[in-house]
Chains A and B, each alone.
Chain A
Amino acid sequence: MAHAEGHHDHAAAHPHAPAGKHHVEGQQHPLGIYFKIWGLLFVLSAASYAVDYYHVQGYLRWTLILLFMMLKAGLIVAVFMHMVWERLAMVYAILVPPLLLLVFVAIGAFEADYTFLTRGTFFGPPAQTAPAAPKHK
């Protein structure tokens, strides 16, 4: 616990409360975990680039891209931004509200399908897609 020792040294040097209080709250972790996550992020980025490079298409492409995206985002938030070491009161306050965006994604998708359909109906036939079953790439 190098952190704890460092803290006591510092508290001894600055016994006044506000400064001493601060240094309890730092996030100090072994360097090894950062290097592991760094490496993992490189691997995941290379993997998502490979999805494009080897022209993986269809549902497999989407599954892989979104999976790698969520894994990378999760690793950055959890380890680099220290969320796994924070108290749950803050973790939930920060990570739950963005879930609302999923509702907006759903609304946006419905709206876009409708717009696509009406454009096909009112502005002439679309280039190659049947108006009844819009397909998006």
Chain B
Amino acid sequence: MTQPALATAGQAVPLKEGLPGIVADWSSDQRAFKNVPWGKAMMWIFLLSDTFIFGSFLISYMTVRMSTQAPWPNPSEVFALTIAGQSIPLILIAIMTFVLISSSGTMVLAVNYGYRKDRKMTFIFLILTAILGATFVGMQAFEWSKLIMEEGIRPWGNPLGAAQFGATFFMITGFHGTHVSIGVIFLIIVAVKVLRGSLDEERPGFLTGRRGNYEMVETMGLYWHFVDLVWVFIFAVFYLW
């Protein structure tokens, strides 16, 4: 399928596909990222830089974990919960994973209803996403307090074994939790904008003065899915290793 791009005069110019398309896009004297609103391209570039930040954290974690001679605490036991008298391994983290994936699901629905200009449904799904995100942060706060107060784990050491466990755990999950919290705040801001019709009427925003549009919801969605994406990696390499 050829995607047409709108030229300034309004007529559609067919875009090339495949490798010639890449060359044509990058060598064109217009913008390189065709058919993408600038906000979305910028969000992707921000997420690329964030990928390197989380990548560096996880690689440092791998390095210190592989190089320590002290025994590493077993995450499966550390993050177990006792429910109805039975100790279930890693259950808290599993629930957090499902909550975050569900929030990603509600987020794509919000984006979808946004492009249909369905204000009410977009608002509902944005708020649902924010609630699920806040639930995730709440469970993380619970996990942190359990580790700090009951297990006595600190960023500089822990009674269960390698000191690096505490350092990397608080660093990585803390940074991720911060991302989730910021996401929840922005979800609420976007939801309010949607509800009061700022996007339909293209009202300028209070911070940048840019006119509102429903692509903002998709850009917001990209950030939110990225937070979920990072959790996929943290879950695999921190909790399942």
Query: Using a CB–CB distance below 8 Å, which chain A residues touch chain B?
Result: 2-3, 6, 10, 17, 19, 21-29, 31, 34-35, 38, 41-42, 45, 48-49, 51-53, 61, 65-66, 68-69, 72-73, 76-77, 80-82, 86-90, 92-94, 97-98, 101, 104-105, 108-109, 111-113, 115-116, 119-120, 123, 126-127, 129, 134, 136-137
Contact between B51 and A53 (Cβ–Cβ < 8 Å)?
A: no
A52–B90 contact, CB under 8 A?
A: yes
List residues of chain A with CB within 8 A of the CB of B71. 127
Cross-chain contact B232 with A69 (CB below 8 angstroms): yes
Which residues of chain B have C-beta atoms less than 8 A from A2's C-beta?
Answer: 116
Whether the Cβ atoms of B36 and A49 lie closer than 8 Å is no
A101-B52, A108-B63, A116-B69 known; A25 and B90 CB under 8 Å?
no
Contacts of A45 in B (CB 8 A): 94, 97-98, 101, 235
Known A-B contacts: A24-B35, A88-B19. Give 19 more (CB < 8 A): A3-B115, A27-B218, A31-B109, A35-B105, A41-B105, A45-B235, A49-B90, A52-B89, A69-B232, A81-B225, A88-B18, A88-B25, A89-B26, A98-B52, A101-B52, A105-B59, A111-B63, A116-B67, A119-B69
**B222 at interface by CB-CB < 8 Å:** yes
Q: When the two chains form their complex, are residues B229 and A77 in contact, meaning their CB atoms are under 8 A apart?
A: yes
Residues of A within 8 A of B36 (CB): 25, 86-87, 90
Please name all residues of chain B whose beta carbon is closer than 8 Å to the beta carbon of A123 when the two chains form the complex: 69
A35–B104 Cα distance when bound, in Å, is: 11
Bound form: Cα–Cα A51–B235 in Å: 12
Partner-contacting stretch, out of B126-134, B147-155, B209-217 = B209-217
Interface size on B, residues (CB 8 A): 78
Q: Is B111 an interface residue (CB 8 A)?
A: yes
Q: Does B135 contact A (CB under 8 A)?
A: no
Kindly state the separation between the CA atoms of A89 and B22 in the bound complex, as whole angstroms.
Answer: 5
Tell me whether B141 is interfacial, beta carbon within 8 Å.
no
Q: Are B89 and A76 in contact (CB under 8 A)?
A: no
| Complex Cα–Cα for A120 and B32 (A) | 53
